């Protein structure tokens, strides 16, 4: 199996059977995100412990396969990490998805990097970049406890 096929399989798997879908019990922060061009809608539920570690992270919503797969992969990768590490992973993902750089993060193992790299192909389709980044921007909003809805037409 070549790398392109592996990436497609990962996206299809997470898109059809998203991980961490639903509302987690005891969440203490949430944020809503919307992509008006594609119609993607995501609600992030975040449970942080007193040390600012992501104890639980789930999402609800509907949208295209890229949007749902990205949210699913993100929740898998960030759960259990400190907010500081989570923000580094988010920053590395956003740089990777918007440029030709590879995913660089010392906070992820090779399998986790492969999952996140499966979304790298969307950079060839600028309209799909917003689908892939919606949940990541929405997680930032939840971490920072912002109340306004994240809108992909307002963020860079």
Task: Say if residues 93 and 26 touch (Cβ distance below 8 Å).
Answer: no
156 within domain boundaries: no
pLDDT, residue 3, reads 65
**Which residues have C-beta within 8 Å of that of residue 82, sequence separation ≥ 6?**
51, 52, 53, 54
pLDDT, residue 132, reads 95
10 within domain boundaries: yes
103 within domain boundaries: yes
Task: Say if residues 83 and 142 touch (Cβ distance below 8 Å).
Answer: no
pLDDT tens digit sequence for 89-131? 999 999 889 886 777 777 788 888 888 888 988 888 888 999 9
In the predicted model, is pLDDT for residue 47 greater than 80? yes
Mean pLDDT of the 28-36 span: 97
pLDDT, residue 123, reads 87
Task: Say if residues 81 and 88 touch (Cβ distance below 8 Å).
Answer: no
Task: Say if residues 92 and 82 touch (Cβ distance below 8 Å).
Answer: no
> Sheet harboring 54-62: ordered strands across?
54-62, 40-48, 29-35, 150-151
* Distance (Å, whole) CA 118 – CA 70: 9
Assign residue 139 the CATH number of its domain. 3.90.1010.10
Secondary structure (3-state) at 35 = strand
Domain that holds residue 138: 3-151
Q: How many domains does the chain have?
A: 1
36 within domain boundaries: yes
Confidence band (pLDDT; 50, 70, 90) for 14?
A: very high
Distance of CA 40 to the CA centre of its chain: 13
CA angle 145, 30, 155 (to 5 degrees): 65
126 within domain boundaries: yes
Average pLDDT score over the chain:
91
């Amino acid at each position: 199996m070549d790398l392109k096929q592996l990436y497609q399989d990962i996206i299809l798997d997470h898109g059809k059977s998203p991980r961490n879908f639903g509302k987690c019990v005891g969440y203490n922060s949430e944020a809503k995100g919307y992509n008006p061009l594609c119609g993607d809608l995501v609600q992030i539920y975040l449970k942080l412990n007193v040390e600012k570690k992501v104890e639980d992270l789930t999402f609800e919503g509907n949208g295209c396969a890229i949007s749902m797969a990205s949210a699913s992969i993100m929740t898998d990768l960030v759960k259990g990490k400190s907010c500081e590490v989570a923000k580094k992973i988010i920053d590395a993902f956003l740089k990777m998805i918007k440029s030709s750089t590879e995913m660089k993060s010392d906070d992820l193992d090779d399998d986790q990097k492969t999952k996140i790299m499966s979304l790298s192909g969307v950079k060839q389709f600028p309209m799909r970049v917003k689908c892939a980044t919606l949940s990541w921007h929405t997680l930032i909003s939840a971490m920072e406890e912002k109340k306004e809805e994240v809108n992909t037409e307002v963020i860079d």
